[in-house]
Structure 1
Amino acid sequence: MTDLLQSLGLSASGMRSQALRLRHVSENIANADTPGYHRKTVSFQEDPDSGLVSTGPVRLDRSELQKIYAPGHPLAGEDGYYDGSNVDLVVEIADAREAQRSYEANLRMFDQARQMTQSLLDLLRR
């Protein structure tokens, strides 16, 4: 029974972590056209004692910002360029799809463990 309850906790921690990752991906997509915006990334950490997954600190991608030529833009310098964002929509959409699939896999594991726990409790009641 303890293993089943532990698997529920592991799956739930995975769902929480992927939900946070998807939130940051959504913020990146929403700010793709924001001048000076740096893409946010999140890493995952495993607790060695329990095996639970958690998110590490949110980091800003320090890659070079895209230079956009628009001489009439209020942020443009004397050369007519201003700093755009470093968000690549193709990468963000791929990250969103991966986070969604990982979330769904954890959800299926959670549901399987819940069903097994319910079956075990039904057997014990007899």
Structure 2
Amino acid sequence: MTEFSDAMSIAASGMKAQATRLRHVSENIANTDTPGYRRKTVAFEEVIETGRATGMVETGRVRLDRAELERVHDPSHPLADETGSYEGSNVNLLIEIADAREAQRSYEANLKLFDQVRRMSSSLTEILRK
């Protein structure tokens, strides 16, 4: 039965990591028009216990995208400099939507795996009872 619990733990860690990733993507989308906002990215790291890989993942540190901020020309904006421009955000909605879709699909794949392992475990328990 330990293989079942290990598989469920791996799937659950994947769902948790993708949920965190989706949260940061949502923050990026919400701040698309925030002046000076830098896009947040998160990387996944493999979980190591007692010197061996477990197959589980977790999110690493949140990093800010160092890409150049977009220059927006709007002389009426309160943050505009003497040229009438200010620094916008470096969020690209197309990239964020693609990242959100990828995170959603990965989450759903882990959820299906979790459910399949749960059903297999229940079936095995039923067979062993007979």
What is the TM-score of this pair, normalised by structure 2?
A: 0.95
Equivalenced residue count is 126
User: Hey, what's the Cα distance between the residues in 2 that align with 1:124 and 1:73?
Assistant: 71
What's 1:72 paired with? 76
What's 1:13 paired with? 13
Instruction: Give the gaps of 5 or more residues in structure 2.
Output: none
What's 2:103 paired with? 99
Further displaced range: 26-35 or 39-48: 39-48
Give the CA deviation at 1:4: 1.1
What's 2:40 paired with? 40
Give the CA deviation at 1:25: 0.2
- The structure richer in strand per residue is 2
Instruction: Give the gaps of 5 or more residues in structure 1.
Output: none
User: Hey, what's the Cα distance between the residues in 2 that align with 1:85 and 1:55?
Assistant: 24
Paired-residue identity, %: 63
State the Cα RMSD in Å.
0.6
* Cα-to-partner distance string for 1:2-50 (whole Å, 9 max, x where unaligned): 1111000000000000000000000000000000000000000012431
